[in-house]
Amino acid sequence: MDTRLCSVVLVLIVTAAAWLPLASSQNGVEGCSFEVIDGVVSTCDLQMNGTRFGEASWRTSSAATAIYLGGPKTDSQATNDSSPGQGGYVVALVSDMKGTQRPLKAWLLTNVSSATQPKGRCLEFAYAVSELGVSSLQVLLLTYTSPDVQEALENTSLPLTYTTRSLWEVRSSTQGQWKRAHVTFSTLDTHSLVFSASSNTRFSTHRGYAAVDDITFKGGPCDDDCMFDVDLCTWANTELGDDFDWDVGRSSGKRGTGPSKDQVSYINRHINIITGGYAYIDSGYPRRPYDRAILESRVLPPFTIQHCLHFWVNMNGGGLGKLRVFSRTTDGNGTDILLWGMWESISGTDSWNECQQTVASNEEFQILFEASVRVPGAGDISLDTITLTEGSCPSLPSGLKSSWVDCTFLVDTCNWSLEPPNGASLSRVLRQQHLQPARTHTVSLAEGGVKY
């Protein structure tokens, strides 16, 4: 049991008790570790009943009830099976999702909160997914569009309107083991986060579950994550050894190069507004061919446990250079090790591609993103939503996996050549799979947007 967290939560309850429910403390730590008090798992007033949203509900459980109810055999803070932990957790059971109509999902909602700070909030949590039955566990940002949210939530005869967008998703089983994850998010609207578990219709007869524990909110961004909505976060332009700098932008005003939207707005294109920014290199004048710009992480501690570096790439233009990821140990001889690389065939389109690379190091090190120019003015390379999470990168569904580099092209494959870390030259024309995004150049001035 994390007693430190509990005491912080208690202090918050005392100081925030007189506040309206909307006035969540933006920089303080809030959360729920689903403690068992007098044999009952405390839910910290989280909304476990999905009925109001047309979805199934989550339940509380614990190591003691897992045997007949289903769910992980230990609490997320247990170190081993013989000491399963005293705490509880929440679980979405496939058997509970059967009764509902349409996509078989269960929803758990966090407290209603007002707009986040520009640097966002950090949600941390533990999760476990069993082998079959659950096709995905997602974290959604639910934005309320009803005028009086609290009243609409309490009175079922009032209409409740909202929109959702996906912030995080896992599609692979953890074999019932607890894993930790975090999500950085920002919004101007009154919102809740939703843990949404979807059942796999092919295996819906199986007992399966998705479980969540140790939900914690704190001021954003999380650790070394960066959404590039305000600045470069803990990432920085290299002082020496490159030719120019990365910048933060919100929408490329140029035809044929640069992204029209940041990654989050792109994947939520039905909403059709720009909600954030991204990091990019401007290949225009005075840049010359082969100029390079390097974005570096802070000095990271040794990663003796593998971590997954996850990021999104937009390579739009007719004369793009390379984007490569290196690791650099600080007490070594300064040699950069190429981890990942992606370079142009000829051109790319305005789409965000999701990429990942497992990273480990016995020494302190830095991660570097190096983008280069090929044809000046025709090859802006952009990067967004970098996350570094413990654990090796999940294996990707085979249909989406390239043979050489872990990079999914969930949205658009364009015609990218992927270069393997060993430097052998390989190229492959990947077929285009999906629709192009709507080209919107709207900039939300309300969010301090600047047109680039």
Q: C-beta of 382: minimal distance to ligand NAG in Å?
A: 17
Q: Which is nearer to ligand NAG, 46 or 323 (CB)?
A: 46
Q: C-beta of 443: minimal distance to ligand NAG in Å?
A: 25
Q: C-beta of 432: minimal distance to ligand NAG in Å?
A: 6
Q: C-beta of 310: minimal distance to ligand NAG in Å?
A: 24
SS (H, E, C) 60-99: EEEHHHHHHHCCCCCCCCCCECCECCCCEEEEEEHHHHCC
Within 10 angstroms of residue 8's Cβ, the number of other Cβ atoms is 17
Q: C-beta of 395: minimal distance to ligand NAG in Å?
A: 27
- Could you give the CA distance from residue 414 to residue 402 in angstroms, rounded to a whole number? 13
Main-chain dihedrals φ then ψ at residue 103, nearest 5 degrees:
-50, 130
Q: Which is nearer to ligand NAG, 69 or 236 (CB)?
A: 69
Element spanning 15, H or E: helix 3-16
Q: Which is nearer to ligand NAG, 145 or 155 (CB)?
A: 155
SS3 249: strand
Residues at the contact surface with ligand NAG, assessed by CB under 6 A: 9, 13, 21, 30-32, 44-46, 49, 51, 57, 79-80, 82-83, 110-111, 155, 157-158, 215, 332-333, 335, 347, 349, 414-415, 429, 432
Q: C-beta of 50: minimal distance to ligand NAG in Å?
A: 8
Main-chain dihedrals φ then ψ at residue 170, nearest 5 degrees:
-125, 135
SS3 309: strand
- Could you give the CA distance from residue 106 to residue 16 in angstroms, rounded to a whole number? 30
How would you classify residue 401: left for phi > 0, otherwise alpha for psi between -120 and 50, otherwise beta?
beta
Q: Which is nearer to ligand NAG, 18 or 240 (CB)?
A: 18
Q: Which is nearer to ligand NAG, 349 or 442 (CB)?
A: 349
Q: C-beta of 401: minimal distance to ligand NAG in Å?
A: 20
8 A C-beta contact, residue 41 and residue 32:
no
Q: Write out the two tokens for 252.
A: 């490329």
Q: Which is nearer to ligand NAG, 58 or 235 (CB)?
A: 58
Question: Beta partners for 191?
Answer: 113, 143
Tally of residues, the chain: 452
- Could you give the CA distance from residue 296 to residue 298 in angstroms, rounded to a whole number? 7
- Could you give the CA distance from residue 435 to residue 19 in angstroms, rounded to a whole number? 46
Q: Which is nearer to ligand NAG, 355 or 414 (CB)?
A: 414
Q: Write out the two tokens for 178.
A: 């607890």
Q: Write out the two tokens for 435.
A: 């629709």
Q: Which is nearer to ligand NAG, 77 or 200 (CB)?
A: 77
Q: Which is nearer to ligand NAG, 37 or 445 (CB)?
A: 37
Burial 176-192 (b: 16+ CB within 10 A, else e): bebbebbbbbbbebbbb
Q: C-beta of 154: minimal distance to ligand NAG in Å?
A: 7
Q: C-beta of 187: minimal distance to ligand NAG in Å?
A: 16
